[in-house]
Structure 1
């Protein structure tokens, strides 16, 4: 049985789906007691536990063959909370822990990357058999904008027009996570998950325009005002500032090796969507 945290989010649900497609038994951990039809439909056992409250975790981890630790985005408690959960996993005797990190966690200009870097350091010292998955930004991150793009012909880019991102399809990330959770010979490994090529906003606009059958122009969305004080807003602002200056690109070769095939490109992602 494999435990997946933050299972109600898009990443957690995708990982549950990938594991169930392999016939694995999954305990999907959510933070609130409410209906979870998408997880029930996948055949997962749904459990309720707060990531920052360690007391119930001995029950949640009972009988687990592996733990996939996803921490919610832009949460200031991630570094310390992940360390505590690794301790719970060790005490429960979980044979394998996989941590969902991020590409280049050492880029400390982005606080949420720095938190994952500290969590990786804690995992290495936790006395566990572990693996780490480091995905790039998801292709799905642009999906909510596509209806507006279809209507206006403009793709808004908060990371500017010059640098590229190696957008990775979430389904490929989830499949790679399933490999790390179920296959032997990978302990102590840190695995990048990047899409097949870096794409600038103008190139993304071109690809989206081809899919929509209309001209699309990338529009630079410059940040306004000071860096926000709240943690989540500050993380987002500094993340896009970093992307604007340096891009967010990686090599697809590690993900290709995990999947046994090349990762999906952005045109393949678009082809699977119902667009206006």
Structure 2
């Protein structure tokens, strides 16, 4: 039997809202939790039988954050955890990806029943309403993931049996940014990296050379699509 009440750690951001919405569509009680709940996380999740764990974006020490969350979940008797990782977590050139790789190891050794989701870049991260400036090549391949599909996939693994111990890469479609921009009828140009965060600069440099390819068949299978 799947989870009936799910704590969504990081539930107030765009990822968490997508997961909560998809769980609600399945009649599952979703409890969105944020930073204000961290001091007594064990108390906050006390009536939940599963948790979806999303760390804050670019957290300076995601493994410590996730280790603390896992400890609170265990203390509260939550037996099932789904961790929101990233596609290609072990990429030495991208420090925040390596942090998620370390978190995956923590989840696998947590003693809880676990599933790991590795999403590709969100389609919604691209503003295709007008001309698009991009700090990396628009001609490299990506496996893009629609946020609603991420929510649906999370709801499937949380509510249906057979996903324990699984790690799933998720993408809705494979494309270059130039292809997406062309479909939307907007111009795209590559501009210099603004240098706002060293981890983002490292990510842009990696994207510029390699993109972030992710296959689509796992998501299609999870969602029952042809």
TM-score interval w.r.t. the shorter chain?
over 0.9
C-alpha distance in 2, partners of 1:108/1:49? 32
Give 4+ residue runs of structure 1 displaced > 3 Å after superposition.
Answer: none
Aligned residue pairs total: 222
**What residue in structure 2 maps to residue 158 of structure 1?**
135
Work out which structure has the larger RCO, using CA pairs closer than 8 Å and 6 or more positions apart in sequence: 2
- Determine the C-alpha separation between the residues in 2 that align with 1:193 and 1:16: 18
- Write out aligned runs for 1:189-200 (5 A): 189-197=166-174, 199-200=175-176
8 A Cα contact 2:144 2:214, kept in partner: no
**Alignment-derived partner of residue 203 in structure 2:** 239
Q: Does 1:217 align with 2:187?
A: yes
| Counterpart contact for 2:6–2:31, Cα < 8 Å | yes
Contiguous gaps of at least 5 residues in structure 1: 32-47, 210-215, 263-276
1:179 lines up with 2:187 in the alignment: no
Q: For 2:173, what is the secondary structure of its paired residue?
A: coil
**Secondary structure class of the residue paired with 1:26:** strand
Alpha-carbon distance, 1:185 to partner: 1.3
Write the distance in 2 (CA, Å) between the matches of 1:162 and 1:27: 40
CA contact (8 A) 1:160 1:221 kept: no
Q: 1:260 maps to what in 2? A: 224
Q: Is the 8 A contact 2:84 2:117 kept in 1?
A: yes
Q: What is the rounded CA distance, in whole Å, between the counterparts of 2:220 and 2:95 in structure 1?
A: 29
Q: Compute the TM-score of the two structures, normalised by the length of structure 2.
A: 0.93
Rounded to whole Å, the distance in 2 between the matches of 1:96 and 1:166 is 28
Matched, 1:49 2:37: yes
1:1-276 map, 5 Å:
1-31=5-35, 48-50=36-38, 53=39, 56-143=40-127, 146-147=128-129, 149=130, 154-197=131-174, 199-209=175-185, 216-223=186-193, 233-261=197-225
- Cα deviations across residues 77-128 of structure 1 (Å, max 9, x unaligned)? 2111101211222222212100000001101211111111000001111111
For residues 19-47 of structure 1, what are the alpha-carbon distances to aligned partners after superposition, in whole Å with 9 as ceiling and x for unaligned? 0111111211122xxxxxxxxxxxxxxxx
Structure 2 residue ranges without an equivalent (≥5): none
